[in-house]
């Protein structure tokens, strides 16, 4: 079978997210890392947590203190039917995040909220047409629980802040094939291209492998991470990126 890795950037990608090995949990509803106080890994109704619609922006025409709209700039070197050429000295506009319907799953909104600035927050590995592995990652600012956990280790480098991988998992039938390692390698390569100097993972010990979202110390050492902060329950693993 051909192995493919796709980014979760819209409803179609979200629909590919595979089930957790333990049916008590669900990647599609987990907000454990995004909500430091009330977040949960427990399986819930995907449709039961809708996205609240955003309020429409007020029209500038109704604001007497708003500046007057700018008229189009005249370019004497263009004909009337010519398009304005791209200016190579202006920063490229980041792609906008996908437009979600009001009944879209809350987790989809969480995974796509940073696309316009950071990029995608999750990837799925497919073996042929079957989704068999999943990972979630991103900047620390996207995961308040990770920020709170990291504050417990003052010896960790304060600058530049790393990216973080909060979840990596394979389905039960896809274990012991190195697929999660392939997924982490793809994430690290991607994060390096996005400008991050390092990535961290906060593994969990003394728990069942299927009950932790952040894998085990043995796994992180196998994919090139080193122990950055020792702890009996939540050791921090770190990998420098090129």
**pLDDT tens-place string over residues 188-235:** 999 999 999 999 999 888 777 666 777 889 999 999 999 999 998 889
Domain 3-50+98-240, CATH: 3.40.630.30
Answer whether residue 52 shows pLDDT above 50. no
Query: Per residue in 145-183, is it b (16+ CB within 10 Å) or e — as a string?
Result: bbbebbeebeebeeeebbbbbbbbbbbeebeeeebbbeb
Answer whether residue 183 shows pLDDT above 70. yes
Q: Among 90, 75, 100, 85, which residue's Cα sits nearest to residue 13?
A: 100
């Amino acid at each position: 079978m051909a192995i493919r890795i796709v980014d979760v950037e819209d409803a179609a990608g979200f629909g590919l997210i595979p089930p957790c090995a333990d049916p008590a949990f669900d990647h599609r509803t987990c907000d454990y890392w995004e909500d430091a106080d009330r977040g949960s890994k427990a399986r819930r109704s995907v449709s039961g947590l809708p996205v609240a619609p955003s309020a429409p922006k007020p029209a500038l025409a109704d604001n007497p203190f708003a500046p007057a709209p700018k008229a189009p700039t005249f370019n004497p070197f263009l004909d009337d039917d010519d398009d304005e050429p791209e200016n190579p000295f202006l920063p490229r506009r980041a792609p906008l995040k996908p437009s979600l319907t009001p009944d879209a799953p809350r987790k989809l909104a969480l995974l796509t909220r940073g696309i316009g600035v950071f990029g995608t927050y999750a990837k799925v590995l497919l073996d042929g047409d079957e989704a068999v592995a999943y990972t979630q990652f991103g900047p620390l600012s996207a995961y308040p629980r990770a920020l709170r956990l990291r504050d417990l280790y003052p010896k960790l480098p304060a600058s530049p802040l790393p990216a973080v991988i909060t979840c990596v998992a394979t389905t039960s039938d896809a274990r012991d094939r190195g697929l999660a390692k392939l997924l982490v390698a793809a994430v690290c390569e991607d994060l390096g291209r996005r400008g991050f100097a390092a990535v961290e993972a906060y593994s969990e010990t003394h728990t069942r492998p299927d009950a932790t979202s952040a894998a085990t110390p043995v796994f992180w050492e196998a994919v090139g991470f080193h122990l950055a902060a020792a702890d009996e329950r939540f050791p921090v693993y770190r990998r420098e990126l090129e």
